[in-house]
Amino acid sequence: MHPIKLPITLTCLFFVLSLNAEDLTLLNGKMLKGVQVTKVEPDGLRVMHQDGLSKIPFESLPPEWKARYPFDINKAEAYRKDTAAEQQSIRAKMKEEKEKLREMELAPMKKAKEEAARTPRLTDASSIKSYWIRSLPQPVSLDRDYSRKLKFAAYMTQQIQSGIYDLDAETTALEWNFREYTRIGELERAKLLSDQLIGIKQQISERNRLRQEVELKEREFALKQQELGLQAMGISTMQDVSTALNRIAFQMLIGNVISADANGMTLQYWEITR
């Protein structure tokens, strides 16, 4: 690698400066070695020394240097104010350019956000049902009651997919879409969804009423079947049931043939338990 050759004039300048270099002790006690003055400004000296470059205010110079470089305090203050104002202007301009650059970078994201604010995020019953299924707790093998929880998740998945909760999913979707149309100010569409919601909620109320009727009839049927079974065995009162069961339990405990004679009737154990 060849050494860089400096122009003759610059080489001569460094040589002259090195000849004029001297040490400088400032009023605060700091010493600069090999000081070479490169520029005299209204408020101080710009120098080069062994540790680098510095700007030294005239107020920090020792007396002999002040005598060598006299200065006007008024001119110095005016220069400093002008320099500070210029630096402030430069910083403000840099800040403005930085903000413009950031706005340019964020413009696509801002535009997309504004577009999203004007666009309703709609859903439907199918999406709601899929969300419900995804939200079901999925147990892991280390969970307590793992088998029971797994069966419950499978059961609920089957129930949701079977259509039992279709009206509930439709209601949830309509309520969400109603809020979205209201958010973006499309009140007419929101009103249409509100009317649909009223109709579906009426259907849900009717469905729940029918379910309750079916459950009530099933319970009544089960009780009737139980009553008929007891009557077939000659049991017509709760006292008869209590007496018969007590006799059976007693016979089981003593290990005899399981039969009981109560109030003139004979009961076989297998008839009670099958």
**What DSSP string describes 102-117?**
HHHHHHHHHHHHHHHH
Specify the DSSP element, H or E, that contains 35: strand 31-41
What is the arithmetic mean of pLDDT over 240-261?
Answer: 50
E runs forming strands in 42-159: 44-49, 52-57
Q: Is the pLDDT of residue 259 over 70?
A: no
What is the arithmetic mean of pLDDT over 104-113?
Answer: 82
What does the domain layout of the chain look like in residue ranges?
8-71, 73-119, 125-229, 235-273
Helix (H, G, I), strand (E, B) or coil at 44: strand
Q: How far is the CA of 183 from the CAs of 52, 112, 124, 127, 131, in angstroms?
A: 63, 17, 18, 21, 23
pLDDT at 234: 59
What is the arithmetic mean of pLDDT over 76-101?
Answer: 91
Kindly state the percentage of the chain with pLDDT values over 70. 76
d(CA 62, CA 116): 68
pLDDT at 179: 92
pLDDT at 2: 40
Residue 143 DSSP label: S
pLDDT at 238: 54
Measuring CA to CA, which residue among 161, 178, 172 is closest to residue 200?
172
Residue 58 DSSP label: G
pLDDT at 19: 55
8-71 is classed CATH 3.30.460 = no
pLDDT at 220: 84
The residues pairing with 22 across neighbouring beta strands, listed in sequence order, are: 35
For the chain, how far is it from start to end, CA to CA, in angstroms?
A: 106
Q: What are 114-163's pLDDT values in tens digits? A: 777 788 889 999 999 999 999 888 888 787 788 888 888 899 999 999 99
pLDDT at 34: 93
Q: What are 188-245's pLDDT values in tens digits? A: 999 999 999 999 999 989 988 998 998 888 888 888 777 776 666 655 555 555 565 5
**Averaged confidence pLDDT in the chain:** 79
pLDDT at 5: 46
Enumerate residues 6+ apart whose C-beta is below 8 A from 259: 251, 266, 267, 268, 269
